[in-house]
Amino acid sequence: MKLICKEVIGAWLTVVAFAVTAQAGLIKASPAPPSPFLEHPQCMTADPDRTPFDKVWRNPSARAWNRVACFDKVVILPVNTSYVQVPCKRQAEVGQMAAYMRATFQNEFAKGCKFQVVSHPGPRTLELEVALVELKPTNVAGNVVATGAGVVAPGANMVGQVFTHGTIAFEAKLRNGQTGELLAEFSDREYDKLSLFSFRDYDPNAHSRRAVMDWAKQMKALTVLPVGERVPGAMRFTLNPF
């Protein structure tokens, strides 16, 4: 009995350690290599004091930003999938994720009264172009095995998630939709959130869709919040099973 208790306590300590590490932002997918979609890849840097994404470049011209200060419309262009490398059998999956990304960004920007989401660039309009550059599905079969291991040794399934997670990466360009002037570029890569249990572990792209939701919220916050105000990153650990 004492041995079982020690095993359970040890497993839960492992879980807690993973949770603390994750929430501190130490468990984070490494940045994806830049694709040709980006125009200033060598100038992009991390900006944790302001931006939750891996890397960002901002137009250094104050005039460029002043010209869009009163813009009240935004257009989300169709998501670029030219640079994501997947087997031919997964091309349809990529197309579905691209459509989901665009719809998610449009829905998020439509919330509130800051921006009107429009279908074409034009006067008083910000233009956001997003590229899906990586889509690796969650290893569902591996998660099934890990879940079984978690029944025997609580917490083992969470450790297993480190080896079964999928990844998704995006790049984005923000422009003055009236002139085409480039204002900023962003890139980020995420993998599946750690959790004690999640139904998303049994859907190849459910975690990636959750990452897209986080990105949409963060991108909107970057355009709405005052310059200099920090936009926090998403938590790496979640108790939400859905």
Task: List the chain domain ranges.
Answer: 2-229
Closest CA to 223 of 189, 169, 172: 172
Q: What is the pLDDT of residue 3?
A: 46
Q: Is the pLDDT of residue 150 over 80?
A: no
Mean pLDDT across 215-220: 95
Q: What is the pLDDT of residue 133?
A: 97
Query: Could you write out the DSSP letters of every residue in 126-138?
Result: EEEEEEEEEEE--
Fill in the amino acid letter for 188. D
Q: What is the pLDDT of residue 231?
A: 86
- How many residues appear in the chain? 242
Would you say 118 and 64 are in contact if contact means Cβ atoms under 8 Å apart? no
Torsion on CA atoms 54, 101, 132, 168, rounded to nearest 10:
60
Return the higher-pLDDT residue of 120 and 14.
Answer: 120
Lowest mean pLDDT among 17-31, 57-71, 157-171: 17-31
Q: What percent of the chain has pLDDT over 70?
A: 68
In DSSP terms, 56 is beta-bridged to 45, 186
Q: Is the pLDDT of residue 41 over 60?
A: yes
Banded model confidence at residue 166, pLDDT cuts 50, 70, 90: confident
Lowest mean pLDDT among 61-75, 134-148, 170-184, 196-210: 134-148
Q: What is the pLDDT of residue 196?
A: 53
What is the chain's mean pLDDT, rounded?
A: 79
Mean pLDDT across 163-167: 67
- pTM (two decimals): 0.78
Highest-scoring range by mean pLDDT, 11-25, 119-133, 181-195: 119-133
- Alpha-carbon gap, residue 102 to 106, rounded angstroms: 6
Closest CA to 117 of 126, 57, 179: 126
